[in-house]
Chains A and B, each alone.
Chain A
Amino acid sequence: MASTRFIITVIGIDKVGIVAKVTGIMAEHSVNIVDISQTIMEDLFTMIMLAEAREENFDLKGFQTAMQKTGEELGVDIRVQNEDAFRFMHRI
């Protein structure tokens, strides 16, 4: 069974309001932040979040679509991927 925790990555040119917008959409979908790290490498804004969906019938596709739309508005690349994609791939 896949877990309900997701890695959200936001990569793009830094500007005011990225975190506010992204976390706003998360709140709308009742997605909770478990861990967050954010760096700015030169001009490139990079945010990695471990997030958790608590609801039984979490609409992943709806959430991904909303995040993608927000990313387009902000001019950044936002991806929402199940955490297993990263755990499974690199570790035994």
Chain B
Amino acid sequence: MLVHPEEIMETIQMVKTENLDIRTVTMGINLRDCVHPEISQFNRNIHNKIVEYAHDLVSTAEDVESLYGIPIINKRVSVTPIASIAAKFNKEDFISIAQTLDSAAAEVGIDFLGGFSALVHKGMTPGEKTLISAIPEALANTEKVCSSVNVATTRAGINMDAVALMGKTIKEAAQLTADRGGIGCAKLVIFANAPEDNPFMAGAFHGIGEPDCVINVGVSGPGVVNAAVRELKDPDLGEIAETIKKTAFKITRMGEMAGREASRRLGVEFGVVDLSLAPTPEVGDSVAAILEAMGLESCGTHGTTAALALLNDAVKKGGSMASSYVGGLSGAFIPVSEDAGMIAAVERGSLDLAKLEAMTSVCSVGLDMVAVPGDTPASTISAIIADEMAIGMINHKTTAVRIIPAPGKTVGDSVEFGGLLGTAPVMSIHDFSSEEFVKKGGRIPAPIQALTN
């Protein structure tokens, strides 16, 4: 089969000028066989297992990157949710586990490690409570460790006690990292219907149904989709959807190819391609820009939810044709701080929290990397989480909240995190209290859709 020069030039252009990349290669590692009643031995076991499995991960990903000439931005590890394997330890022990994970991550040279996590959608065990209480300190005292807590599923409903607790936990995480803009919160995600094979941080963990070790790949290319849409001459929305589909196909094929080569070289099972459009702070590499390319003056204006629905669906259609092992979160990500177009839209006043929440009902993840005033009460944060969890629960989809009550900041300010995390403009919230609602606790029952058997 001849390779066509036009295809060659197209691929090179995608990489060179449109920021096409493989966002992440993530090795999922099962830590259930590391369980030990002694904390020191337990820590040694997890450290050794991570280092043993992942010591070649970074160099292999770099070799694959150079083989195909396509950049792989992040190399990551996800592990079994720590709360489910370390039930008996106290808070200090949990912090020592986080530090062990951090040192293992540093030793193998990866960018992030996810899995300081708990799944508490139906109820909390004492171990899970202890882990959650340790999250703020764990995130403040580590560099690469990320944490997630699943508080709702369509089958179980929403654990409002956990939601109330997470509001306080987020506030504490912000305070303990106040000198760094509250960066602890950027490493903490609250989920509904968390996927077990998600390679994207901060929500990645290695699910209980997964093999001992697996390679998952997350691809991304909003810049490429943006360029393809902008190139169309006066298209209708059907043509735009078709173009996005074709582009998503190409991006996903590339991710599958690189992921399979990495898994072959590492001798590790291949898991999924997460076919996503995840933006970066680079100009042009923006999901908001794609929405605007469809004819919206500024992201967030009327029509944005419809445009995002079209985009998200076309990405999934194109991607699912390209790979039979699609998983994770798959779809368009709209993290505010990581997307130059989103930041601009907030700053010019066209995008607010209410519109963002509406948009999350048709795309991946949810309220992601949103900064709110530092004096926002914990109950308000819990209420924002509850709203987002309800969208996930009712719509059978994954939703998440990664929110930063930026210490000492108010509307009009912004917080700078650097790197892929970007800059978050502080968004305004309702002044009316949600205190009494959140205080009620208990569990919001699972919706009738849960009864599908």
Contacts and interface: CB of A to CB of B under 8 A. Distances in A.
Interface of A: 1-2, 7, 9, 11, 37, 46, 48, 50, 60-61, 64, 77, 79-92
Interface stretch (B250-258, B341-349, B390-398): B250-258
B69 interface: yes
Nearest to B250: A89
B3 A60 contact: no
Given A1-B264, A79-B12, A85-B254, A90 B7 contact: yes
B67 A60 contact: yes
A88 B1 contact: no
Interface of B: 1, 3-5, 7-12, 16, 63, 66-70, 250, 253-254, 256-257, 261, 264, 321
B20 to A, nearest CB: 10
Nearest to B252: A89
A90 B66 contact: no
B68 A85 contact: yes
Contacts of B16: 77
Given A2-B261, A79-B12, A83-B3, A88 B254 contact: yes
Contact of A81 (B7, B9, B10, B69): B69
A83 B11 CA distance: 11
A84 B66 contact: no
22 contacts: A2-B67, A7-B3, A7-B8, A11-B12, A46-B9, A50-B3, A64-B66, A77-B16, A79-B69, A80-B69, A81-B70, A82-B67, A82-B69, A84-B257, A85-B254, A86-B7, A87-B3, A88-B256, A89-B253, A89-B254, A90-B10, A90-B253
A90 B250 contact: yes
B6 to A, nearest CB: 9
A89 B257 contact: yes
A82 B68 contact: yes
A51 to B, nearest CB: 12
Contact of B253 (A37, A46, A88): A88
B69 A60 contact: no
Contacts of B321: 92
